[in-house]
A = this chain, B = another copy of it.
Amino acid sequence: MENHDKQDLYLVCPYVTAQKVVAGKWAVVVLHHLSGGTLRFGQLQRLMPGLTQATLTKQLRALESSGLVRRQVYPQVPPRVEYSLTPIGQAFRPVLDSIAQWGEKYIAYMQQR
């Protein structure tokens, strides 16, 4: 997910770019929760039962390296790590909102069949 030559459309087509960033299965859910404000690792985990620590860590690292999430470590015992959205991560909120709206519509539409 790091190496991009001229052949792929990363950093050319915005849809491809977004696809890559949000590719992770839990990416949008994480971004949604973080759009409500800074959260600790454990808080995020409790908000999303269904993924393991390892999976959540990987997803957060991916979002961090994409530049959407900031990871702040407080050198304490016990450890304390806080996650929050960067400015470009905050800019993703309109996408989250429209996804939520469409998702509701889609759920309703699917249930009435």
A-side residues, CB < 8 A to B, are 7-9, 11-19, 21-23, 25-29, 32, 50, 67, 88, 91-92, 94-107, 109-111
Least CB separation from A8: chain B residue: B50
Give complex CA distance A105, B50 in Å: 32
Q: Are B15 and A29 in contact (CB under 8 A)?
A: yes
Q: Are B88 and A109 in contact (CB under 8 A)?
A: yes
Q: Are B8 and A106 in contact (CB under 8 A)?
A: no
Q: Are A9 and B104 in contact (CB under 8 A)?
A: no
A109 to chain B, nearest CB (A): 5
Q: Are A11 and B107 in contact (CB under 8 A)?
A: yes
Known contacts A91-B102, A98-B95; decide if A111 and B18 are in contact (CB<8 Å).
no
